A = this chain, B = another copy of it.
Amino acid sequence: MMRSVLLLRAARRVLRCSRFTVTPAPARHVYSLQSIILPHVPASSSSFSSSFSSTPTTGQSSLSSRSHTCGELRSSHVGQEVTLCGWVQYLRQDLFVILRDFSGLVQVLIPQEESQRELKDAFCGLTVESVIKVKGRVRLRPEGQRNTNMSTGEIEVCAESLDLLNTCRKLPFEIKDFVKKSEALRMQYRYLDLRSAQMQHNLRLRSRLVMKMREYLCNVHGFVDIETPTLFKRTPGGAKEFVVPSGEPGMFYSLPQSPQQFKQLLMVAGLDRYFQLARCYRDEGSKPDRQPEFTQLDIEMSFVDAAGIIALIEGLLQYSWPEDKGTISTPFPCLTYKEAMKDYGVDKPDTRFGMKLVDVSETFQHTQIEFIRNVIAHPGGCVQAICVPDGAKHLKGKDMEFLKQTAKTQFNQDVDCMLVKAEGSIKSPLSRLLPDTTRLQLLLKMSAKAGDLLLVAAGAQERVRPLLGKLRLQCAELLEGRGVPVRDPSIFNFLWVVDFPLFLPKEDEPEQLESAHHPFTAPMPEDAHLLYTQPHKVRGQHYDLVLNGCEIGGGSIRIHNAAQQLYVLENVLKEDPSLLSHLLEALDSGAPPHGGIALGLDRLVSIIVGASSIRDVIAFPKSFKGHDLMSHAPSLVPEEELRPYHISVLWPSAKHGRDNKP
């Protein structure tokens, strides 16, 4: 045995030295000044030894045929012999090749001497985006030719040999960040789109962020990374769950929207600190900027309270935050659901700017305007307003029309646009119905100054608040469109929103309650007794994490008592508890108190890198119709290949035809 191992090792070294050292490129041509002498791999047993010559043992060039990356070369490398691999960005005047890899660009000097004619011709024949290996020596660029806009702009590499690894023949668009491509073209040629500096940055930042998150959870807090199944049981009525036919007739798996049940079962199992970067699935048809599959950082902990989870997540984000994005300070501010709705008209407020909602009902208490008087007289009726600073100065008539249109179509509400004039006068269809006292009181209450725009709406509070919350965001967008900075894209305003109601009336059946988040959220301890009497008044131990107006996470302390969970399912939600019998049994088998959270990774990363769509932080996203434009998924599957799954396609024309008698 031992002898054979030794023989094998010897054989292995031979293998490494001979068979595997030749680059197996069929279309490969080596143009070389000096004959390439591959040094023998030393006969050590180091596992890091590679067949390549000048390769470092660690770092981004380890174990490969390059000695350095293009973007790392500086004046400190002057005099060194380097081997670079990369893509031809462009040629300049038959003098230079600009070579690119993920790390950046470097200038390669093409030899001009007549004796190196062959090498020069080879360089000059290169097509853009071809892949080459260049060996050469680093030197300082001549005085006056340094480029301070380029991180490698102090140096250039004097080429000594060229190895054409692959020729680029097709190119539907140039690999330059400033070249605008249609979204469809970017998706079809995703492998080219990903070569852009921006996409390289986005995906690499995402990878580093996730690595830091894992380090924090595993190494700092002892969490266990556990994978849960994605072939699961369909949730009854889970309309957004993809189904996966199994080999048994009529039996389907489903792709879960989150590992909620599994993470709770892991707590019952005593795996008391669980996390997972979990792939989740949601079939939402063609909603903009949604993906049928997405990733969440999924966390669950036992023997914890909401403050513990909140502190964990604050620490997580602080620990993993990219260095070049500044620092974030903790604890994050915290608003109750009520406060958020009152001030911002939305449960995920963007706190980077003001324009808060103000209740001006009192101001209009004695108004002559009959419509408003009627509204205020109704219970729940109110007049509310937001003040858009310099809105009157910057927004145009068509902007106001756009705002009114939103109010009408999305909220069936009127909104009054009041332009505040120099002398404190107001320009509005209502202005002649406003006595001076009302006008002054309104301006004072809104802290409005000349040039501002007031948006005033009267109606039921639960409609007026979301309306003004929406208009507030639209005004910010409109102002930014006119060049007025409102939201600083370089700041990151994290915010916790808490004290959500545990149940909400069903939209189509307001007598019935449904879970505001999911049926496993625990009630606030001080509200728990209301479960049995006034469930609509119970607040849940739920917390949402909001970043710059986007909900990037949500979680809760869960119900860990089987009787309470059964009561919520059966008596409050009127659901069939037998469908969750395994969870109820588990809660009765020694379930610890537990809670958790899930962060939407795609959205978080897209905000950090300032991407306008989550598609820009996903390597191979689907189009908004759910198509992969590169490989053309989904695609037709022949009927005989569906037979093992006991399904057949209901073609739209045949759909009703089947019932027809001949």
Contact = CB atoms under 8 A, between A and B. Distances in A.
A27 B522 CA distance: 13
Interface residues of A, number: 193
A65 B560 contact: no
A192 B330 CA distance: 38
A475 B298 CA distance: 47
Given A129-B589, A244-B244, A15 B220 contact: no
A662 B248 CA distance: 28
B26 A561 contact: yes
A505 interface: no
Given A51-B307, A649-B250, A333 B622 contact: no
A253 interface: yes
Contact of A524 (B19, B165, B247, B293): B19
Contact of A307 (B21, B265, B304, B307): B21
A334 B165 contact: no
Contacts of A221: 58-60, 62-63
Given A200-B271, A306-B20, A582 B647 contact: no
B233 A632 contact: yes
Contact of A131 (B194, B252, B592): B592
A498 interface: yes
Given A16-B307, A637-B252, A650-B647, A171 B589 contact: yes
A281 B52 CA distance: 36
Interface in A613-662: 618-620, 622, 626, 628, 630-637, 641-652, 655, 661-662
Contacts of A102: 270-272
Contacts of A47: 311, 314-315, 318, 330-331
Contacts of A651: 249-250, 646
Contacts of A515: none
A589 to B, nearest CB: 5
A190 B269 contact: yes
Contacts of A27: 561, 563
A64 B302 contact: yes
A14 to B, nearest CB: 10
Nearest to A48: B315
A447 to B, nearest CB: 13
Given A192-B269, A207-B226, A248 B634 contact: yes
A230 interface: yes
B305 A590 contact: no
B59 A222 contact: yes
A305 B261 contact: no
A639 to B, nearest CB: 9
Q: Which 10 A-B pairs have the closest CB atoms?
A: A47-B330, A60-B222, A194-B269, A8-B333, A233-B633, A168-B590, A47-B314, A129-B590, A251-B634, A63-B308
Given A47-B311, A227-B295, 9 more contacts: A12-B333, A19-B306, A24-B557, A47-B318, A62-B220, A194-B270, A246-B634, A252-B637, A647-B650
26 contacts: A4-B333, A12-B496, A19-B526, A24-B524, A24-B525, A25-B561, A25-B593, A26-B564, A49-B311, A64-B308, A65-B305, A102-B272, A200-B271, A210-B225, A226-B619, A227-B279, A229-B622, A231-B633, A233-B635, A242-B244, A242-B245, A243-B245, A243-B642, A251-B634, A269-B619, A643-B650
